[in-house]
Amino acid sequence: THFDLANNYGPPPGSAELTLGRALAGDFVKLRDELVISTKAGYHMWDGPYGEWGSRKYLRSSLDQSLKRLGVEYVDIFYSHRPDPDTPLDETMGALDTAVRQGKALYVGLSNYSAEETRRAAAILKNLGTPLLIHQPRYSMLDRRPEDGLLTALDELGVGSIAYSPLEQGILTDRYLNGIPAGSRAAGDSPFLTSDALTPQLVERLRALDAVAKERGQSLAQLALAWVLRGGRLTSAVVGASSVTQLENSVEAVRNLEFGEDELTRIEELLAEAGTG
């Protein structure tokens, strides 16, 4: 089981790690060696020049704070959450390498890095003796930017990939097929999903994709996850769930990851009409 975290996940920032930390000290107390726990640093955590981005000082301080909140001695994967335009990449990668050498992380990863940035970072890490294990890009049926070079770079480098937001904040589920439910993310004040994003044209395409899913014996969410994982090019996908039912629904996607050429063609046509990019 993989728990994917970041120092700023909340709200408030840090609360996701604290929540898992309580579970690790309770129900999961004997399971640490069976769990994969990852965290990230790169976004704003505190005021001041060393409260975000990718300096050695910030990354090392942030990791120490994450370990304290989690109540563990190490994380399995420590990510640089985003590239820093003002810090040399050698410094950021050096901080990741130090985390491994100090025993505070087993492996290192990147998130939100471009193909070229990933190639440069991987080369630096290779020279340091701490190979880049994995990249976590945003990737879904509605956000296909990793196809513009990043996935090819990861293939060539032999680096794994784990997609985040494969369900696009819940858009690629049956939640919004018949309007915006009260209490849903789109109905609230979420900065990640507003009602304006759910245009009539998009909803029409979602309904068509839902029809494809039903023909496959899947839910729309299961179709979206299977599509991301199609062909085995991605290692995995991160999903969030607010209930056991949602979690079980997502996991069921792995029962059918195969697509026929006709299915893929039909999906491509629908996504083109939806204006994905």
Q: Please check whether residue 154 lies inside any domain of the structure.
A: no
Instruction: Report residue 109: phi and psi, to 5°.
Output: -145, 175
4 and 123 inside one domain: yes
75 and 191 inside one domain: no
125 and 2 inside one domain: yes
Q: Render pLDDT for 53-101 as a digit per residue (tens, 0 to 9).
A: 999 999 999 999 999 999 999 999 999 999 999 999 999 999 999 999 9
Q: Render pLDDT for 147-180 as a digit per residue (tens, 0 to 9).
A: 999 999 999 999 999 999 999 988 999 988 886 6
Determine the Cα–Cα distance for residues 125 and 26; give it in Å rounded to an integer: 36
Q: Please check whether residue 151 lies inside any domain of the structure.
A: no
Q: Please check whether residue 147 lies inside any domain of the structure.
A: no
4 and 128 inside one domain: yes
For residue 177, the model assigns a pLDDT of: 86
129 and 1 inside one domain: yes
The pTM (predicted TM-score) of the whole model is 0.93
For residue 275, the model assigns a pLDDT of: 65
Determine the Cα–Cα distance for residues 32 and 3; give it in Å rounded to an integer: 11
Q: Please check whether residue 261 lies inside any domain of the structure.
A: yes
Determine the Cα–Cα distance for residues 274 and 224; give it in Å rounded to an integer: 14
**Average pLDDT per consecutive 10 residues, the chain (277 residues; last block may be shorter):** 96 96 96 97 96 98 98 98 98 98 98 98 98 98 97 98 95 84 61 70 93 97 97 94 91 96 96 73
Domain boundary among 136, 152, 178: 136
For residue 182, the model assigns a pLDDT of: 62
Contacts of 231 (CB under 8 A, 6+ apart): none
27 and 128 inside one domain: yes
Distance from the first to the final alpha carbon of the chain: 31
Q: Please check whether residue 258 lies inside any domain of the structure.
A: yes
For residue 245, the model assigns a pLDDT of: 92
Burial class (CB in 10 A: 0-12, 13-18, 19+), 69: buried
Give residue 208's identity as a one-letter amino acid code. Answer: A
78 and 123 inside one domain: yes
Nearest alpha carbon to residue 142 among 234, 195, 205: 205
- CATH number of residue 53's parent domain: 3.20.20.100
115 and 176 inside one domain: no
For residue 198, the model assigns a pLDDT of: 75
Q: Please check whether residue 156 lies inside any domain of the structure.
A: no
1 and 131 inside one domain: yes
186 and 114 inside one domain: no
131 and 167 inside one domain: no
Q: Which residues pair with 237 in a beta bridge?
A: 163
**Number of alpha carbons in the 13 Å side-chain half-sphere of residue 18:** 8
How far, rounded to the nearest angstrom, does the alpha carbon of residue 65 sit from its chain's CA centroid?
21
Q: Please check whether residue 149 lies inside any domain of the structure.
A: no
For residue 186, the model assigns a pLDDT of: 57
For residue 262, the model assigns a pLDDT of: 96
Counting the structural domains of the chain, the total is 2
Q: Which domain holds residue 11?
A: 1-136
For residue 194, the model assigns a pLDDT of: 64
Determine the Cα–Cα distance for residues 114 and 112; give it in Å rounded to an integer: 7
Q: Please check whether residue 269 lies inside any domain of the structure.
A: yes
For residue 273, the model assigns a pLDDT of: 81
3 and 129 inside one domain: yes
Quick one: DSSP state of residue 260?
-
Largest CA distance in the chain: 54
Residue 135: both structure tokens together: 């990249």
